[in-house]
Amino acid sequence: MFKYKVYILPKKSIINPESEQVLLLSKKISNISSLKIGKYIEIESEQEDYYNIDMLCKNLLANTITESYSIVKIDE
């Protein structure tokens, strides 16, 4: 079984009110300068096929107009 992690984040150029609000509150609690909220998806596949996962991200999991994604393969 091959495992992949997919991270999806809103693009830098787009104002993200959710992240901004959480950052404002977080700054009061902890000394941090940046915070981004996105999505994290775990995928399992019986075949090792990075291209297929990439296609899945492009076509469904991420909206490439507003989001960027990265795929990380988990080695076990």
Partner 1 sequence: MKVAVIVFPGTNCDNDVCKAIYSSLGIKAERIYFWQELSDNYDLIILPGGFSYGDYLRSGAIASKLEIVNKIKDLSSSTYILGICNGFQILTESGLLPGALIKNNTSKFMCKNVELMVENTKTFFTNLNIKKNIFLPIANKEGRYFCDKETLEDLKENNQIIFRYKDNINGSINNIAGIINKQGNIIGMMPHPERAIIPEHQSCDGYQLFVSILNYWAKNK
What residue ranges bind partner 1 (CB under 8 A)?
A: 10, 14-18, 21, 59-61, 63, 65-66
Q: Tell me the closest approach of the beta carbon of residue 11 to partner 1, in angstroms.
A: 9
Residue among 14, 19, 20 at smallest CA distance from 67: 14
Complex with partner 1: residue 1 or 14, whichever CB lies closer: 14
Tokens of 25: 């509150």
Complex with partner 1: residue 43 or 61, whichever CB lies closer: 61
Strands (DSSP E) found in 11-66: 39-45
Q: Tell me the closest approach of the beta carbon of residue 75 to partner 1, in angstroms.
A: 27
In whole angstroms, what is the distance from residue 11 CA to residue 9 CA? 6
